[in-house]
Structure 1
Amino acid sequence: MIDQFARLTLSEKAAISIEKTEENYILDLASQPSDPGGDGILAVTGTNNSIRLHSRQNLALKGKITGHQGVVSSVKFGTREPALVYSSSLDATVRCWDTRDKNNQVHKYEGQGDERGMFLSLSVSCDDRTVCCGTEGIDGDTWIMFWDRRKPGIPIRRFTECHNDDITQVQFHPSEVHKMASGSTDGLINIYDLRETDEDDAIEMTLNTESSVGKLGWKGPGGDNLYCITHLETFHIWDSEGDLLAEHKNLKENFKELDYLVDCFEDGSSNFFLLAGSHNGDMQVLSLGDAKSTKCSTVGSLCKGHTDTVRSLSYSSSGCSLVTGGEDGMLCLWTPNNNGREPVTSHSKDSMKVKDKKSRTKPYSKGAKT
């Protein structure tokens, strides 16, 4: 598999907007569960409040979903009902869409009163029954809200004391419906047993990253390991008992050409990999070995695809292909079976974009300059 990563090259490339003055960063990617070898759908969120649907196989545009009035912060597909896609937004709503229906929207979920905060993170339980979102922090108040997917409206449950700053990540366990983790810019990660009715009792353990949590996820055999990438570009991984298995705090110092970490993924043998990048768009695939490994090495380079910071990825182990999305508004598909051919770029009016790079805006704060 490492040899496959060493041979990853750019095979397809597509832009997500054509407006010259519109700064449209790609914020999140979600890949639809599909049969092995099938052409699943990618849901792509950007800062223009919409969701675009692309072919996972060749990035061809399949459709566009509109309806949110604010930036779409996160997107997920259902597991048992993969035609459904869920989105959270800074417009203080969560929505469920049916990719088979031209009208798209199925349900809308939101808080009430003071709980109508901007939603920064989203997760859906593995049985598709529960939708969960984390909010921004407002004067030290944050909420994690839960809805019954079939019953939009008032949340069926809410946590109000688990974090005291922006909740950047909520992640249900991939196979245990009652297990969930959340991460925040307060530096804490909480792991919950949702069978407990009281919020304090539901928190099984709290992990301290000593930094702001950027990415969070369950990996390893049975999803027994929990990883975290912080906004200081450190990487941590714990076992099911909360014991720290490995951490990497000096990746930027050890790999001088890297500026940030994108996300973690694993191959079919439960080996861990990190995608890291530089602000000019070039990336490196770093091998971490298994969850307990303290070594890290470069196994592949991904260059000349992006021209700006890469924010998200979607990895497919069946074809060892990787899709990346970045602040240049581009999707790039990397495959190991390219045979050195030139990348195919879509030139349709609906998929190409001319960028005006004179000014840049933060994805979650359109009026603030970086």
Structure 2
Amino acid sequence: MHALQATAASSLSLPSSTYIYAIAEAPTSAARQFGAISSDDSLRLFDGQSLQPLTVASAKAHEGVTALKSVRSVGNAPAFLATAGRDGAVRLWDIRSGHVSGKADVEMRVERDVPILSLACNPETHTIVAGTEIVSSQATVALWDIRSPGEKKQQYVESHNDDVTELQFHPTRHNVLLSGSTDGLVNLYDINIADEDDTLLQVINHGSIHHAGFLSEDVIFALSHDEVFSIHPVTNPDGEGSNDDPTPIQFGDLRNPLGCEYVVQTLNNSNGTYLAAGNTAEQRLDILPIVSNPKWDFDYNDFWRLPGAHGEEIVRAVHLDEQSQTVFSGGEDGFIRAWRPNASAGGENEVSMEEHDHTPRSKDKRRQRDEKRFKPY
């Protein structure tokens, strides 16, 4: 276990009793900036080094903001922060233009302004996708081309029969989309197929989905709202090989093995996927790597701890910034906090910049690795 040090904290000038919901990197050409959404429905920017608030991009981004994603620039396309809300809208904010009027640059809406709960973006294909709450026995996965926001590119209305809580694109196959729902299902779609009956590639039944996503090109994880976790192989899209369903790895309830009270979210960067788990009684947050060798599991020894975390308040958002080697956290205490390795600490708390090793190790190699320590960047 390696402890990080809290180096900065900011309330972002938020009203009292405000929760931080999500943090995302603001794709700007300026110094490193980040966006945050919170329970007052605002979208605010802050400086990544000092955490000082920079501007209020919108004091009312939505009537009930629910999601925040970064849409990076590809080619000549602009970069945005994308938000969604319970008002049925997806909005794109060009932070580079320094908006203070609160007006979004692009807006997309679902039919009947049904509340949107989840959001995903694929800049490579200019695609935005939103997942809705169930209304009148229908939950929708809606897709747009950013360049034609007035008309949906595609939508699925029969694939889920409860709230759509998770959306994620495949890391390399831009036509493959994952969705998760409180109906217990994780679906994989080929969005290049127009007919909804034919677009489903795989269906996994796990339990009410809190988070789901890709651990690799051919492996999916699922996390339920009661903290049950499982890992599933992706079936061969060409239908080759065994006709049997691939065998999942079932971890059960994570609260006991991880010593946590709740799971915040999973985190992705160039080195892999990590899971953030909190404990308010012990006032800590742990970030554990999910490793693939010798089998898929958590590394229970080489993880990062945020001691103190947000006190007795729940952590709602965590963001890993590889460039500055900083962990940002946001909580129900209304604060953003920055955490960095404590260079002066020695022994068990020492953290180096070596990449985490995902390959099998002998005892001798493990001892060598222990001297280098773990780096989730």
Compute the displacement of 1:312 (Å).
1.7
Compute the displacement of 1:11 (Å).
1.2
Q: Distance in 1 between matches of 2:270 and 2:31?
A: 19
Q: Distance in 2 between matches of 1:93 and 1:159?
A: 17
Q: Distance in 1 between matches of 2:61 and 2:298?
A: 43
3-state DSSP of counterpart to 2:265: strand
Q: Is the 8 Å Cα contact of residues 111 and 154 (structure 1) preserved in structure 2?
A: no
| C-alpha RMSD over aligned residues | 2.5
Which residue, 302, 307, 325 being the options, matches 1:303?
307
Give the AA of the match of 1:250.
D
Q: Which residue is equivalent to 1:259?
A: 261
Asked if 1:97 is matched to 2:93, the reply is yes
Which residue, 165, 170, 183 being the options, matches 2:167?
170
Compute the displacement of 1:278 (Å).
1.5
Q: Distance in 2 between matches of 1:33 and 1:84?
A: 7
Equivalent residues in 2 for 1:267-306 (5 A)?
Answer: 268-270=270-272, 272-280=273-281, 281-290=283-292, 292-294=295-297, 296-298=299-301, 299-306=303-310
Q: Percent identity?
A: 26
Asked if 1:42 is matched to 2:34, the reply is yes
Equivalent residues in 2 for 1:137-176 (5 A)?
Answer: 137-176=134-173
3-state DSSP of counterpart to 2:223: strand
Q: Which has the higher mean CA deviation after the structures are superposed, 59-68 or 121-130?
A: 59-68
Q: Distance in 1 between matches of 2:234 and 2:8?
A: 38
Q: Which residue is equivalent to 2:353?
A: none
Change beyond 3 A, Cα 1:302–1:177: same
Give the AA of the match of 1:225.
V
Change beyond 3 A, Cα 1:337–1:262: same
Q: Distance in 1 between matches of 2:331 and 2:32?
A: 21
Q: Which residue is equivalent to 2:328?
A: 323
Q: Distance in 2 between matches of 1:219 and 1:202?
A: 22
Aligned residues: 325
Compute the displacement of 1:294 (Å).
3.4
3-state DSSP of counterpart to 1:249: strand
Compute the displacement of 1:18 (Å).
4.1
Q: Is the 8 Å Cα contact of residues 32 and 82 (structure 1) preserved in structure 2?
A: no
Q: Is the 8 Å Cα contact of residues 215 and 228 (structure 1) preserved in structure 2?
A: yes
Give the AA of the match of 1:96.
L
Which residue, 75, 78, 82 being the options, matches 2:71?
78
Q: Which residue is equivalent to 1:345?
A: none
Q: Is the 8 Å Cα contact of residues 17 and 24 (structure 1) preserved in structure 2?
A: no
Which residue, 46, 63, 66 being the options, matches 1:54?
46
Q: Which has the higher mean CA deviation after the structures are superposed, 51-60 or 93-102?
A: 51-60
Q: Distance in 2 between matches of 1:173 and 1:255?
A: 27
Which residue, 336, 339, 343 being the options, matches 1:334?
339
Q: Distance in 2 between matches of 1:238 and 1:33?
A: 33
Compute the displacement of 1:244 (Å).
5.1
Q: Is the 8 Å Cα contact of residues 283 and 301 (structure 1) preserved in structure 2?
A: yes
Q: Distance in 1 between matches of 2:28 and 2:223?
A: 27
3-state DSSP of counterpart to 1:325: strand
Change beyond 3 A, Cα 1:235–1:156: same
Q: Calculate the TM-score normalised by the size of structure 2.
A: 0.78
Deviations 1:88-107 (A, max 9, x none): 01111111111022335211
Q: Which residue is equivalent to 1:356?
A: none
Q: Which residue is equivalent to 1:198?
A: 195
Give the AA of the match of 2:279.
S
3-state DSSP of counterpart to 2:139: coil
Compute the displacement of 1:245 (Å).
5.4
3-state DSSP of counterpart to 1:297: coil
Asked if 1:249 is matched to 2:252, the reply is yes
Q: Which has the higher mean CA deviation after the structures are superposed, 85-94 or 260-269?
A: 260-269
Q: Distance in 1 between matches of 2:298 and 2:220?
A: 18
Q: Distance in 1 between matches of 2:278 and 2:125?
A: 33
Give the AA of the match of 1:317.
E
Q: Which has the higher mean CA deviation after the structures are superposed, 128-137 or 224-233?
A: 224-233
Asked if 1:9 is matched to 2:5, the reply is yes
Give the AA of the match of 1:328.
D
Q: Is the 8 Å Cα contact of residues 125 and 173 (structure 1) preserved in structure 2?
A: no
Where do 5+ consecutive residues of structure 1 fail to align? 341-370
Give the AA of the match of 2:33.
I
Give the AA of the match of 1:288.
I
